């Protein structure tokens, strides 16, 4: 009886016994599924701690446009003229944004609604970035498989799932272009490398579509259109020209360029801008190479071919330089624009374009940021480079170039650590995978050596060499085990660090602030949203709000009111006008405000809570940008001994300018900290100088519960008598 | 004098050997070459026309020229993949090469039609 019962059980077990290949496939698929889920859930800290809302400033604009797209359809979205921002100029939204992110979110929203999931568009927007981060891990797996092998692909997927450099811009709620763009970037690169490896037109077409998606998603597509020609050039120089390369690059360039020009914001830049000329130059160079290759193939006489080669090369070089020179001199080919030129010359922005210099993400990167964002990948990166150089192929050359160029740019600008992250993860994955593979081969070889020791005489030279190796160093197996433990320890430390970084540093919504109260309890400051909802509910619908440009997107999205300047910063003079108004005396400022039809003024003040990203700390940029356009604003008027002060020793112009008055109105009576006099500014750490502030042309409309946002109403002119 | 003569001889010899080598290529490749030549010729005509009347609807001009350049490039890619002398594409069946060519041309012309304006 027992024997009969055992039979079906052992049959069942036999049916599970898979062949090695199937076991490997099962392990791989399950690892990828777990990594996919991990990448998604590690980005959900802020949703769990606060609520499902959009973070920061730029995502609010993207949210507003996505809302418009879902409500009004694609045609209205593509041709949208927004009169609610940049009053009185307005903004041609359809032609000045990258639609990829909005269209993607709207598509996901429509699919979910088609499947009868009635989600709100805000939820879709909040979770778009983690979803695409998970997809990026899949692409990283396939890319790693293409460059090295499946082991490297798996490690790459795991590394990029938790890497803080990527998480910083793709947490849930960070509804910004980069969340989708990094996926598009890696996808395009993967498809292109696949096209170069196979020489197939279908893969090149796919990479052209990947490039189109990238162009529609982010302005950083310029990196792709310069890296790929550079890569082709390096291949040509190192003598790796091949037909596959010709097919891949040409198809991708022509189709990609055409597709990219369909985006209105990009327009004709691919044929007119200096930043895109490298791709065109390499395109013509490829034609020359192909032509020379063809002639060489047809001619049997090498001497004739040398003569022909000389003639053609001189002709091509002359024609090329003449065309380029004519284009640049006549101004038809525009030079590199400020944003990208400051990447090549980091000191350019500080002297010439203060708006670019003022953004904190555009500052050069400190070593601590690198360590913070990359951890062990920092020293695995050179190790991976070593492995790549050992096994050079078209694909490894690409990843080496991508890694080196992106690391240079990451060193110039903090924000670009994001672009370097996939390269660093892939190269480090190669190092990890190769090392672990070598170590495990050592571990397994000893057994084989013992078994086949008797058959040394027979053909298997591999086993015999392994056996030889083992005899010379008896502790190899122990060393390998120790090294493996070390490797796993490091990787687990990496995972812990990444999770800690995500939890502490990159999961704050910026619009909701949190702090620890006196007894350790958590205190939430929801002042921003309080102020915007007050605006929405208590002001006339056509009211115009003047504030510094940081808050423009949030005011239009949540407050639903017209703003004077917002984060798009496309018109420097308009921003300088607002800066001038903020830094002038009240009488001059009211003239400017009346000319702009301003009804309300909004300022952010951190003196009560100790919040340091407030308008008084940003004041120096208002002065610099305003002074850059209107010479009447002179920075030395506000400085005392070269620094900005707000206490008794401050400059008189500083103590009476509009920004100072609006921030510190009625603050002189406020007790902020025990043991300090009234009017003690906790963000600057000083007692303010001018406590008795009287406003003549404005009146206080609203101050939030923690005094973070203060709204003032512009009084209509006095009656004649 | 002798150098001029020898360079002229060189050019003649070059021209003749190129001509004889080209005559030996298979007919299907010659047809593709003819198509590429036609596309380039059309592109040149368009550029000359633009030079004479100006480039006002620039997107139309670009889409016209790029469609010619695009079909030329795709035809060259087809020629590469179909040419029996290319070792790298030995395993690629010519039907697959032609199917890829047709697909890419389809995408190219759809984009061109959208871009014509």
| Cα A48 versus chain centre, distance | 23
Give the per-residue pLDDT at A12.
55
* Phi, psi dihedral angles at A241 (to 5 degrees): -65, 135
CB distance B108 to B71 below 8 Å: yes
| A266: three-class secondary structure by DSSP | coil
pLDDT at residue A279 tops 60? yes
pLDDT at residue A454 tops 60? no
Q: Which residues of B touch A243 (CB under 8 A)?
A: 80, 86, 88-89
Interface contact flag, A247 B104, Cβ < 8 Å: no
Angle (nearest 5°) at CA A526 between A521 and A530: 150
pLDDT in tens, A470-527: 555 667 788 888 999 999 999 999 999 999 999 988 888 888 888 887 788 888 899 9
Cα A182 to Cα A196: distance, rounded to the nearest angstrom: 21
Q: Alpha carbon of A24 to those of A73, A113, A140, A273: distances in Å?
A: 47, 38, 19, 50
pLDDT at residue A676 tops 80? yes
pLDDT at residue A455 tops 70? no
* Phi, psi dihedral angles at A594 (to 5 degrees): -65, -35
ipTM: 0.93
Which chain B residue is nearest to residue A311, measuring alpha carbons? B11
Q: Is B73 on the interface with A (CB under 8 A)?
A: yes
pLDDT at residue A233 tops 90? yes
Give the per-residue pLDDT at A19.
80
Interface contact flag, A268 B22, Cβ < 8 Å: no
Q: Is B13 on the interface with A (CB under 8 A)?
A: yes
Interface contact flag, A247 B21, Cβ < 8 Å: no
Q: Which residues of A touch B18 (CB under 8 A)?
A: 295, 298-299
pLDDT at residue A361 tops 80? no
Give the per-residue pLDDT at A473.
67
Among A251, A257, A297, select the one facing B104 at the smallest CB separation.
A251
Give the per-residue pLDDT at A162.
94
**Alpha-carbon gap: B99 to the closest alpha carbon of chain A (Å):** 9
Q: Alpha carbon of A460 to those of A448, A455, A466, A554: distances in Å?
A: 11, 8, 10, 71
The answer for residues whose C-beta is within 8 angstroms of residue B17's C-beta and 6 or more apart is A298, A299, A300, A301, A304
Q: Which has more pLDDT, A649 or A2?
A: A649
Interface contact flag, B77 A250, Cβ < 8 Å: yes
| A460: three-class secondary structure by DSSP | coil
> What single-letter DSSP state applies at residue A679?
T
Interface contact flag, B70 A258, Cβ < 8 Å: yes
How many CA atoms, within 13 angstroms, populate the side-chain half-sphere of residue A282?
A: 26
Q: Is B65 on the interface with A (CB under 8 A)?
A: no
Tokens of A642: 């070269």
CB distance A431 to A159 below 8 Å: no
Residue where the block lists tokens 């609807």: B57
Interface contact flag, B89 A295, Cβ < 8 Å: no
Give the per-residue pLDDT at A332.
74
CB distance A502 to A167 below 8 Å: yes
Cα A240 to Cα A231: distance, rounded to the nearest angstrom: 11
Q: Which residues of A touch B76 (CB under 8 A)?
A: 246, 250, 290
Give the per-residue pLDDT at A77.
93
Give the residue among A418, A419, A407 at the shortest CA–CA distance from A378. Answer: A407
Give the per-residue pLDDT at A469.
53
Q: Is the pTM of this model over 0.95?
A: no
pLDDT in tens, A152-171: 999 999 999 999 999 999 99
What DSSP string describes A542-561?
T-EEE--GGGHHHIIIII--
> What single-letter DSSP state applies at residue A364?
P
Name the band, by pLDDT with cuts 50, 70 and 90, for residue A692.
confident
Residue % of chain A over a pLDDT of 90: 59
How many CA atoms, within 13 angstroms, populate the side-chain half-sphere of residue A126?
A: 21
Give the per-residue pLDDT at A121.
94
Name the band, by pLDDT with cuts 50, 70 and 90, for residue B1.
low
pLDDT at residue B36 tops 90? yes
Give the residue among A94, A90, A84, A189 at the shortest CA–CA distance from A140. Answer: A189
Q: Which residues of B touch A258 (CB under 8 A)?
A: 63, 66, 70, 108, 111-112, 115
Tokens of A693: 């502030």
Q: Which of A212, A251, A292, A326 should be substituted to probe chain B, the one whose Cβ sees the most B Cβ atoms within 10 Å?
A: A251
Question: What average pLDDT score do residues B62-86 get?
Answer: 92
Give the per-residue pLDDT at A105.
96
Q: Is B115 on the interface with A (CB under 8 A)?
A: yes
Tokens of A695: 């406003």
pLDDT at residue A465 tops 60? no
Among A262, A268, A298, select the one facing B22 at the smallest CB separation.
A298
Give the per-residue pLDDT at A1.
52
Give the per-residue pLDDT at A447.
52
**Alpha-carbon gap: A457 to the closest alpha carbon of chain B (Å):** 40
Report the sign of the C-alpha dihedral through residues A73, A76, A79, A80, in that order.
negative
Among A247, A254, A298, select the one facing B80 at the smallest CB separation.
A247
| Cα A651 versus chain centre, distance | 40
CB distance B18 to A292 below 8 Å: no
What DSSP string describes A582-648?
HHSBHHHHHHHHHHTT--EEEEE--TTTT-SSSTTTTHHHHHHHHHHH-TTS-GGGTEETTEE--ST
Q: Which of A258, A272, A296, A301 should be substituted to probe chain B, the one whose Cβ sees the most B Cβ atoms within 10 Å?
A: A258
Interface contact flag, B76 A251, Cβ < 8 Å: no
Name the band, by pLDDT with cuts 50, 70 and 90, for residue A461.
very low
How many CA atoms, within 13 angstroms, populate the side-chain half-sphere of residue A272?
A: 11
Among A246, A268, A298, select the one facing B18 at the smallest CB separation.
A298
Length of chain B equals 117
Q: Which residues of B touch A198 (CB under 8 A)?
A: none
> What single-letter DSSP state applies at residue A534?
H
CB distance B66 to A254 below 8 Å: yes
pLDDT at residue A84 tops 70? yes
Tokens of B34: 């003819």
* H runs (alpha helix) in chain B: 2-23, 27-53, 58-82, 94-116
Name the band, by pLDDT with cuts 50, 70 and 90, for residue A2.
low
Give the per-residue pLDDT at A674.
84
pLDDT in tens, A283-295: 999 998 898 888 8
Cα A164 to Cα A502: distance, rounded to the nearest angstrom: 7
Give the per-residue pLDDT at A324.
82
Question: What average pLDDT score do residues A436-441 get?
Answer: 90
Lowest mean pLDDT among A78-87, A306-315, A497-506: A306-315
β-pair partners for A273: A334
Name the band, by pLDDT with cuts 50, 70 and 90, for residue A450.
very low
pLDDT at residue A451 tops 80? no
Interface contact flag, B76 A257, Cβ < 8 Å: no
CB pairs under 8 A between A and B: 94
Give the per-residue pLDDT at A551.
93
Q: Is B47 on the interface with A (CB under 8 A)?
A: no
Residue where the block lists tokens 């103590």: A655
Give the per-residue pLDDT at A508.
86
Question: What average pLDDT score do residues B82-103 get?
Answer: 89
The answer for residues whose C-beta is within 8 angstroms of residue A42's C-beta and 6 or more apart is A161, A162, A167, A498, A499, A502
Q: Is B27 on the interface with A (CB under 8 A)?
A: no
Residue where the block lists tokens 């830094």: A583
* Phi, psi dihedral angles at A219 (to 5 degrees): -70, -15
Give the per-residue pLDDT at A301.
66
Q: Is B76 on the interface with A (CB under 8 A)?
A: yes
Question: What average pLDDT score do residues A118-133 get?
Answer: 95
Interface contact flag, A246 B80, Cβ < 8 Å: yes
CB distance B75 to B32 below 8 Å: yes
Give the per-residue pLDDT at A256.
95
Element (H, E) at A712: strand A709-714
Q: Is B114 on the interface with A (CB under 8 A)?
A: yes
Question: What average pLDDT score do residues B13-27 get?
Answer: 81
β-pair partners for A81: A92
CB distance A443 to A483 below 8 Å: no
Name the band, by pLDDT with cuts 50, 70 and 90, for residue B39.
very high
Longest distance between any two alpha carbons in chain A, whole Å: 118
């Amino acid at each position: 009886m027992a024997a009969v019962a055992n039979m079906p059980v052992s049959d069942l077990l036999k049916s599970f016994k898979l062949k090695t290949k199937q076991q490997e496939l099962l392990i791989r698929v399950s690892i990828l599924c777990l990594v996919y889920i991990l990448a998604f859930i590690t980005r959900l800290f802020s949703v769990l701690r606060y609520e499902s809302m959009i973070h920061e400033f730029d995502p609010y604009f993207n949210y507003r446009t996505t809302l418009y797209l879902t409500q009004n359809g694609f045609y209205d979205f593509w041709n949208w003229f927004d009169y609610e921002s940049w009053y009185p100029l307005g903004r041609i939204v359809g032609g000045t944004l990258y639609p990829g992110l909005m269209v993607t979110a709207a598509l996901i929203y429509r699919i979910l609604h088609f499947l009868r999931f009635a989600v709100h568009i805000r939820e879709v927007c909040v979770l778009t970035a983690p979803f695409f981060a998970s997809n990026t891990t899949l692409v990283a797996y396939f890319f790693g498989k293409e460059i090295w092998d499946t082991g490297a692909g798996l490690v790459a997927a795991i590394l990029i799932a938790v890497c803080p450099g990527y998480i910083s811009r793709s947490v849930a709620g960070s509804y910004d272009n980069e969340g989708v763009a990094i996926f598009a970037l890696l996808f395009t690169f993967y498809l292109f490398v696949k096209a170069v490896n196979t020489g197939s037109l279908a893969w090149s077409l796919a990479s052209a579509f990947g490039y189109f998606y990238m162009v529609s998603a982010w302005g950083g597509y310029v990196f792709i259109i310069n890296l790929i020609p550079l890569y082709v050039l390096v291949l040509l120089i190192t003598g790796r020209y091949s037909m596959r390369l010709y097919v891949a690059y040409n198809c991708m360039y022509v189709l990609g360029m055409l597709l990219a020009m369909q985006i209105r914001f990009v327009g004709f830049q691919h044929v007119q801008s200096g930043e895109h000329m490298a791709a065109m130059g390499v395109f013509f160079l490829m034609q020359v190479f192909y032509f020379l290759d063809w002639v060489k193939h047809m001619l049997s006489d090498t001497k004739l071919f040398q003569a022909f080669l000389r003639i053609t090369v001189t002709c091509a070089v002359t024609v090329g330089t003449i065309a380029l020179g004519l284009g640049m001199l006549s101004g038809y080919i525009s030079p590199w624009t400020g944003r990208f030129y400051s990447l090549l010359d980091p000191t350019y922005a500080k002297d010439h374009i203060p708006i670019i210099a003022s953004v904190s993400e555009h500052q050069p990167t400190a070593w601590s940021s690198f360590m913070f964002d990359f951890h062990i990948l920092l020293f695995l990166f050179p190790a991976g480079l070593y492995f790549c150089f050992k096994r050079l192929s078209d694909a490894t050359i690409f990843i080496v170039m991508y890694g080196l160029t992106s690391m240079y740019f990451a060193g110039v600008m903090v924000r670009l650590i994001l672009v370097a992250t996939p390269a660093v993860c892939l190269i480090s994955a190669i190092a990890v995978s190769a090392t672990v593979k070598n170590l495990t081969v050592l571990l397994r070889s000893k057994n084989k050596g013992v078994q086949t020791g008797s058959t040394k005489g027979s053909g298997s030279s591999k086993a015999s060499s392994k056996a030889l190796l083992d005899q010379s160093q008896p502790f190899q197996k122990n060393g390998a085990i120790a090294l493996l433990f070390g490797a796993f320890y490091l990787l687990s430390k990496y995972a812990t660090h990444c999770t800690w970084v995500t939890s502490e540093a990159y999961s704050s919504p910026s619009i909701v602030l949190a702090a620890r109260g006196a007894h350790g309890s958590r205190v939430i400051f929801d002042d921003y949203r309080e102020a915007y909802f007050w605006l929405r509910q208590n002001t006339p619908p056509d009211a115009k709000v003047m504030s510094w440009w940081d808050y423009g997107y949030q005011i239009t999205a949540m407050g639903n009111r017209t703003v004077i300047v917002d984060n798009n910063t496309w018109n420097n003079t308009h921003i300088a006008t607002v800066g001038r108004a903020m830094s002038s005396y009240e009488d001059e400022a009211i003239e400017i405000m009346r000319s702009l039809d301003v009804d309300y003024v909004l300022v952010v003040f951190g003196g009560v809570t100790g919040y340091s990203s407030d308008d008084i700390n940003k004041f120096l940029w208002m002065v610099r940008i305003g002074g850059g356009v209107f010479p009447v604003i002179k920075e030395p008027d506000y400085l005392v001994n070269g620094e900005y002060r707000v206490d008794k020793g401050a400059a008189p112009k500083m103590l009476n300018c509009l920004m100072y008055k609006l921030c510190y109105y009625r603050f002189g009576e406020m007790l902020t900290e025990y043991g300090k006099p009234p009017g003690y500014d906790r963000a600057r750490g000083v007692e303010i100088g001018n406590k008795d502030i009287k406003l003549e042309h404005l009146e206080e409309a609203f101050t939030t519960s923690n005094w973070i946002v203060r709204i003032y109403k512009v009084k209509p002119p006095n009656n004649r008598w | 004098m002798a150098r001029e003569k020898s360079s002229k001889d060189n050019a003649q010899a070059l021209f003749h050997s190129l001509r004889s080598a080209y005559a030996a290529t298979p007919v299907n490749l010659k047809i593709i070459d003819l198509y590429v030549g036609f596309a380039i010729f059309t592109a040149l005509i368009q550029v000359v026309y633009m030079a004479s009347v100006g480039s006002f609807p620039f997107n139309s001009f670009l889409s016209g020229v790029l469609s010619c350049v695009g079909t030329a490039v795709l035809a060259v890619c087809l020629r590469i993949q179909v040419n029996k002398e290319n070792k790298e594409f030995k395993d690629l069946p010519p039907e697959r090469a032609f199917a890829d060519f047709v697909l890419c041309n389809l995408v190219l012309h759809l984009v061109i039609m959208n871009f014509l304006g």
